[in-house]
Amino acid sequence: MRDRLNHSLRRLPTWVIYLLGALPAPWLFYQGLTGGLGVEPIKALEHEYGKLALQLLVLGLAVTPLRKYVGLNLLKFRRALGLLCFFYVCCHLAVWLVLDVQLPGQIWADIVKRPYVTIGMAGFVLLLPLALTSNNRSIRWLGRSWRKLHRAVYAAGLLGALHYVILVKGFQFEPVIYLALIVGLLLLRLPFDRLSAFLRPLRQRA
Amino acid sequence: GLGLSALAGGAQAEQALEPNSWEDVTTYCNFYEFGTGKGDPAANAHQMTTTPWSVKIDGLVDRPGDYDFQEILSEMTLEERIYRFRCVEAWSMVVPWTGFELADLLAMAGVQSNAKYVAFETLYRPDEMPGTAYRVLDWPYREGLRLDEAMHPLTLMATGIFGKDLPNQNGAPLRLVVPWKYGFKSIKSIVRITLTDQEPPTSWNMSNAREYGFYSNVNPEVSHPRWSQATERRIGGGLFAKRQPTEMFNGYGDEVASLYSGMDLAKSF
């Protein structure tokens, strides 16, 4: 079953992921224009784009653990997931800048004064070099440092989730779920095998 | 009375207020007992039973007791008031309310001379309110006013919108409307009104005192720690709606500014 799934995934071209992943952007915009997002479409569109970015980030972070613990190989699609995530971060940011805040003077004030905006912006800035180097030439050119650089996505993920948690009023569950998922997926990257190998002699002695 | 109704409209008479649509007012709501999404109250509030309904009026009053909603209605004179409504989240609406002045209801119970504040409580019925399964706030929802604010002729107890009974998601059957304060002060589905001599605890202030003060008067100069209050967006303007400047006391300064003379509104926010 798993092998068959891996086999069919190998045959799935990545452009399908790009296409399916990008489609919600114009679709949601159209919904916003025509009343499908309710009577306050600006905030709704901003939130939908932001949530899609977080969902794609979670998927991207799940690729390695899925391969390691489940044997499901989605490696081929990781770049697409990452770039789509960045695309939705850009959409989210554009809606905030152009449709929501509107006043250029207010934008910088918000970035400096409002922690949730500062944190969100920091996440965006971290993702920027990752998006720019997500091509084969950069991977070759950067060699080993490419992998190091791209670990910045861990921090970006945490910042993105935190951005959502501190943005809402009162204690709400949905943003906490994203934070928990991202923290969980990062924890799964800890070298448990090495850790338990290290702990084994200690345990035997005790 | 009619004179006061004129007062309510007075300041805005020149720029006659154009109410939002029924859809705007009834589908975009904050009523966290039914969920934190703006559409959740419209989707879930039908579960709330509003008949029979009674309001307990207690504390420093001459005639404490459980007042049946229909009984209250039979004593009150209903009138329409078109008010601006400004949410602390920096959006706004214009709502045509039907209701009576809170002062008239308080007079019915007889306010004692040592009363200084009025505390309000929303219905808390977990089996009819799916949102209360989560401790977003410390239920029941509570609000409060200083007595002079409560007695002000602009302060309304609403029982309807657009000439119809209040839909559940808008706080049926009886809610407060204080047009110069952020919307969360206008507590919904009231089951208890208590006159006290001490400032009562209020839900959002209990949840985050740094962000939500007891007064919570609309004030473009005092920003919420997480966003500016200088501008607002009228609901219903679509994807390209422009922001507009927020007015001090939501435009009701002529009527209410004197209530706060001598107070530092940046401190008592």
Q: How many CB pairs under 8 A join A and B?
A: 63
User: What is the number of helices (H) and of strands (E) in chain A?
Assistant: 12, 0
Give the domain extent around B38: 2-260
**3-state secondary structure (DSSP) of residue B121:** strand
Contact B228 A110 (CB under 8 A): yes
Q: Is the separation of the CB atoms in A58 and B252 below 8 Å?
A: no
In DSSP notation, A34-60 reads TTTT-S-HHHHHHHHHHHHHHHHHHHH
Residue A98: its chain B contacts at CB < 8 A?
none
pLDDT value of position A204 = 65
Contact A172 B36 (CB under 8 A): yes
Q: With respect to residue B158, please indicate whether it lies within any of the assigned structural domains.
A: yes
At A74, give phi and psi (nearest 5°): -115, 15
Query: Could you give phi then psi for residue B61, rounded to 5 degrees?
Result: -130, 155
For the beta carbon of residue A103, count every other beta carbon within 10 angstroms: 12
CATH number of the domain that residue B42 is part of: 3.90.420.10
E strand or H helix at B245, and its extent? Answer: strand B244-245
Residues of A in contact with B231 (CB under 8 A): 103, 106
Nearest CA in chain A to B36: A172
DSSP 8-state class, residue A95: I
* Yes or no, beta carbons of A114 and B27 under 8 Å apart: no
Chain B nearest C-alpha distance from A7 (Å): 41
A135-144: which pairs have CB atoms within 8 A and are 24 or more residues apart?
none
C-alpha A96/C-alpha A103 separation (Å) is: 11
* Contacts with B135 from chain A: Cβ below 8 Å: 171
- Per-residue pLDDT 10s for chain A (206 aa) are 788 999 999 999 999 999 999 999 999 999 999 999 999 999 999 999 999 999 999 999 999 999 999 999 999 999 999 999 999 999 999 999 999 998 888 888 888 889 999 999 999 999 999 999 999 999 999 999 999 999 999 999 999 999 999 998 878 889 999 999 999 999 999 887 776 777 676 666 65
CA of A41: which chain B residue's CA is closest? Answer: B239
Q: In order along chain B (269 residues), what is the average pLDDT of each group of 10 residues?
A: 46 70 97 96 98 98 98 97 97 98 98 98 98 94 98 98 98 98 98 98 96 97 92 96 96 97 94
Which residue in this structure is represented by tokens 């409002």? A114
Q: In chain A, where are the structural domains located?
A: 2-191
How far apart are alpha carbons B57 and B69 in whole angstroms? 12
What is the per-residue pLDDT for B5?
A: 47
Residues in A touching B238 (Cβ below 8 Å): 33, 41
Looking at CA atoms only, how far is residue A127 from chain B in angstroms? 24
Tell me if chain A has a CB within 8 Å of the CB of B89: yes
Nearest to A42 among B36, B225, B241 (CB): B241
Burial class (CB in 10 A: 0-12, 13-18, 19+), B146: middle
In degrees and rounded to multiples of 5, residue B144 shows phi and psi of -160, 155
User: Nearest Cβ partner of B226 from A38, A39, A116?
Assistant: A116
Nearest residue to B87 via CA among B202, B207, B216: B216
- Closest partner residue to A33 among B36, B227, B239, by Cβ? B239
| B266 within domain boundaries | no
- Residue B269 is assigned to a structural domain of this protein: no
**CA-based nearest distance B118→chain A, Å:** 24
- Note the ipTM here: 0.84
Whole-angstrom Cα distance, residue B183 to residue B177?
8
Q: Which of B219, B195, B200 is nearest to B113 (CA)?
A: B195
Query: Is B137 in Cβ contact with A170 (below 8 Å)?
Result: yes
Query: What pLDDT score was predicted for residue B14?
Result: 45
Closest CA to B154 of B103, B91, B88, B214: B103
Q: With CB atoms and an 8 Å threshold, state whether A102 touches B27.
A: no
Please report the pLDDT score of residue B237 as a whole number: 94
Q: CB–CB of A45 and B24 under 8 A? A: no
SS3 (DSSP) at B232: strand
Domain count of the fold of chain B: 1
